[in-house]
């Protein structure tokens, strides 16, 4: 009698689940499994790996293809300090630009980087870091689990940085200089060691930077010059969200995780397209029943050239493409399961994992080195 796999998720189907070639946007999907020992995969619509990279560190969340065809990799730096529970899982700090042949041609290190990083068209790098708040500012942070600050009662707050190819900081935005802690209270179920937890920093149009603040359920647009907050999507629209991006029509596409959505007893995730000025949801995708699509943390949404959307249901390693009508036309489950390699991460996220922070879809013309 065969023995059942003890990992529940791995007992389900993995790899390619289904594809509708006629309705898909086509192309190739890039993803960096969180626990595949630094492997990055580029797969075609049939789920076949057409290229792979092997990096020296597991991902500090993400990997992208750059306009020159190289890989931009956000690695989990082994020397990053252990600031608080969870930091070992979501910090990065080891940035590398890697050729298709695996040669590292540029590197940057920031041991206080976490979550997102954007490789800009001018060669610069935009990413999120943390710094400790002063005791006076920390005392003004509202909400969260009482007594859950980092060692010594410290609360770390977010700083967004842009660095050039020499690693020099050319722009910096400190959250506490532009946000009043009283106006951005932590949810009662989040720890107080990190405020407001910027899990994404994305360049928008007209000099904006769009930030996702997970622990306070807000998406904000920041003006680069002044640092001023131009608009805010609050908890009436989003809930513990990830991956906001500005579309050509000015709307904001966002992965709405939905752990603690107001007045909703059963959590579910959804993809939202929001008009930030009208403060109105213009389009959304959710499954039926709602809990059939749910990622309590991480997650991604990318609008494709034909109007479809690539979705990363991150915690379950599920990558799928939907039409505007909400039909699934491509689905793939990350088959690479493993435990996190370090003890601190395993304590925070135990067991076998196949999580993917965010996947990206590219067309054939975006990958000039790829053989037919």
* 187: three-class secondary structure by DSSP: coil
Q: What is the mean pLDDT of the chain?
A: 96
Q: Answer yes or no: are the C-beta atoms of 92 and 117 closer than 8 Å.
A: yes
Query: What is the structure's pLDDT at 8?
Result: 81
Closest CA to 232 of 193, 174, 183: 183
In percent, the amount of the chain with pLDDT more than 70 equals 99
Question: What DSSP assignment string belongs to 301-329?
Answer: EEE-TTS-EEEEEGGGTEEEEE-TT--EE
Query: What is the structure's pLDDT at 372?
Result: 64
Q: Indicate the DSSP class of residue 143.
A: B
Closest CA to 199 of 296, 54, 305: 296
Query: What is the structure's pLDDT at 9?
Result: 75
Closest CA to 272 of 250, 255, 291, 258: 255
Q: Looking at the predicted structure, is the pLDDT value of residue 230 above 70?
A: yes
User: How far is Cα 162 from Cα 245, in angstroms, rounded to an integer?
Assistant: 18
Question: What DSSP assignment string belongs to 188-221?
Answer: TTS-TTEES-EEEEEE-GGGEEEEEEGGGTEEEE
pLDDT, average across residues 72-77 = 97
Residue 6: Cβ within 10 Å count: 9
Query: What is the structure's pLDDT at 3?
Result: 75
Query: What is the structure's pLDDT at 12?
Result: 84
Please give the CATH number for the structural domain made up of 8-319+329-366: 2.120.10.30
Q: What does the pLDDT look like over 251-263, one tens digit per residue?
A: 999 999 999 999 9
* 229: three-class secondary structure by DSSP: strand
Q: What does the pLDDT look like over 110-154, one tens digit per residue?
A: 999 999 999 999 999 999 999 999 999 999 999 999 999 999 999
Is 17 exposed, middle or buried, given 0-12, 13-18 or 19+ CB atoms closer than 10 A?
Answer: middle
Reported as half-sphere exposure (CB side, CA atoms, 13 A), residue 237 has a value of 26
User: How far is Cα 12 from Cα 26, in angstroms, rounded to an integer?
Assistant: 25
Closest CA to 16 of 332, 310, 329: 332
Q: What does the pLDDT look like over 32-48, one tens digit per residue?
A: 999 999 999 999 999 99
């Amino acid at each position: 009698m065969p023995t059942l796999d003890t990992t529940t998720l791995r007992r389900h189907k993995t790899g390619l689940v289904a594809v509708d070639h006629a309705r898909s946007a086509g192309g190739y999907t890039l993803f960096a499994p969180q626990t595949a020992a630094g492997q990055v995969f580029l797969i075609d619509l049939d789920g076949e790996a057409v290229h792979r990279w092997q990096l020296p560190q597991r991902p500090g969340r993400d990997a992208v293809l750059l306009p020159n065809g190289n890989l931009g990799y956000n690695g989990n730096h082994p020397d990053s300090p252990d600031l608080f529970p969870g930091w070992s899982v979501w910090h990065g700090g080891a940035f590398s630009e890697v050729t298709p042949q695996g040669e590292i041609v540029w590197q940057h290190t920031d041991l206080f980087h976490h979550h997102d990083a954007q490789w800009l068209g001018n060669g610069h790098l935009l990413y999120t870091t943390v710094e400790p708040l002063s005791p006076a500012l920390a005392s003004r942070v509202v909400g969260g689990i009482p007594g859950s600050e980092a060692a010594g009662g410290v609360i770390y707050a977010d700083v967004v940085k842009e660095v050039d190819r020499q690693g020099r900081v050319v722009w910096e935005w400190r959250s506490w200089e532009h946000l009043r802690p009283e106006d951005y209270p932590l949810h009662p179920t989040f720890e107080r060691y990190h405020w407001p937890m910027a899990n994404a920093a994305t360049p928008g149009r007209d000099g904006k930077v769009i930030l996702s603040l997970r622990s306070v359920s807000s998406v904000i647009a920041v003006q680069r010059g002044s640092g001023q907050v131009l608009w805010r999507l609050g908890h009436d629209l989003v809930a513990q969200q990830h991956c906001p991006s500005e579309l050509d029509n000015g709307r904001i596409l966002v992965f709405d995780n939905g752990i603690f959505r107001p007045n909703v007893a059963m959590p579910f995730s959804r993809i939202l397209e929001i008009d930030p000025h009208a403060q109105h949801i213009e389009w959304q995708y959710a499954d039926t029943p709602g809990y059939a699509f749910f990622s309590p943390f991480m997650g991604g949404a990318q609008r494709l050239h034909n109007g479809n959307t690539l979705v990363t249901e991150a915690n379950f390693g599920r990558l799928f493409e939907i039409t505007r009508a909400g039909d699934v036309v491509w689905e793939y489950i990350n088959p690479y399961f493993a435990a996190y390699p370090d003890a601190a991460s395993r304590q925070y996220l135990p067991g076998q994992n196949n999580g993917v922070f965010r996947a990206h879809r590219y067309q054939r013309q975006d990958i000039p080195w790829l053989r037919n």
